[in-house]
Amino acid sequence: MRLAADVPKELAGKRAVVTGGSRGIGAAIVQHFLDAGASVVTSARSATEDTPSAATFVKADLSTRDGVREFADAALETLGGVDIVVNNAGGCRAFQSALDIENDWQYTMDINFLAAVRLNSALVPAMRESGGGAIVHVSSIATISSYPMILHYAAAKSALETYSKGLAAQLAPEGIRVVAVSLGNVMTPGADEAREKIVDYLGAESEEWADEIPLGRLGQPQDIAEAVGFLASPRAAWITGSSLVIDGGKIAAL
């Protein structure tokens, strides 16, 4: 992990909005942006001890229309505009049969897909006023290789990636880049809980997750933050409409 002093200040003066930034991957992205010189507003249902203190935290439920609107308004009021948006909020609460549609499908679509659609719609006008910017969608390799009990999550992330490509084509002439990152197994509190639930659902005693990864380890939040930091930076000025797989080589090895 690089020290803050070692991170180039390539985002100095930039205004960034990051959802799901209270812990794990989101908190790592927020801290990376802060270290790179950006001003950051982030959100979650509640802050944690891992939420970077230098960011402005807004409590918000982004699975609802009102929650997204209130967060967008607060971010614009705080920052005065926006240059970077990272739609990181996501996950699923239930691990279930793909036929159990009443349990968790709507929430999973709302938080993983529609939250990004709604937030982008609210913030893109400000990005146009700024003359351009970058939007990063945090997706998952579940879209490629999905466990049946998280099919609702995989479907929502698949919708997010399709939307991301189409939005990139629409906004490119205005200087707004749109990219996605498709993540494998990363060590975060939320992912640890999910892995335990998957093992329980399968009725297994344990699952050697790292054995499936050619690089031999689970990802760290900083691995993702470094990639997102690059994609949001001027160094990625000719990258849009694509999805970067960050999974330690798992999909390539299938």
In a domain, 132, yes or no: yes
Mean pLDDT of 56-81: 98
pLDDT band at 8 (very low <50, low <70, confident <90, very high): confident
Residue 1 has pLDDT above 70, yes or no: no
Q: Is the predicted pLDDT of residue 249 greater than 80, yes or no?
A: yes
Active site residues: 153
Q: How confident is the model over 198-230, as pLDDT tens digits?
A: 666 666 544 577 888 999 999 999 999 999 999
Kindly give, in sequence order, each residue whose CB lies less than 8 Å from that of residue 137, ignoring residues fewer than 6 positions away. Answer: 87, 116, 160, 161, 163, 164, 178, 179, 180, 181
Residue 2, domain member (yes or no): no
Read off the pLDDT of each residue in 126-130 and give the average, rounded to a whole number.
97
Range of the domain at 61: 12-253
Q: Evaluate whether 19 touches 87 at the Cβ level (below 8 Å).
A: yes
Within a domain: residue 1? no
Of residues 156, 137, 34, 21, the one with CA closest to residue 86: 137
Is 107 in contact with 93 (CB distance < 8 Å)?
yes
Query: Which pLDDT band holds residue 117 (cuts at 50, 70, 90)?
Result: very high
State pTM to two decimals: 0.93
Domain of residue 168, CATH code: 3.40.50.720
Q: Give domain status of residue 96, yes or no.
A: yes
Question: How large a percentage of the chain has pLDDT more than 90?
Answer: 77
pLDDT greater than 60 at residue 16 = yes
User: Is 7 within a domain?
Assistant: no
5 has pLDDT over 70 = no
Q: Is 189 part of a structural domain of the chain?
A: yes
Task: Please give the Cα distance from 207 to 193 (Å, whole number).
Answer: 13
Angle between helices 24-35 and 221-232 (to 10 degrees): 50
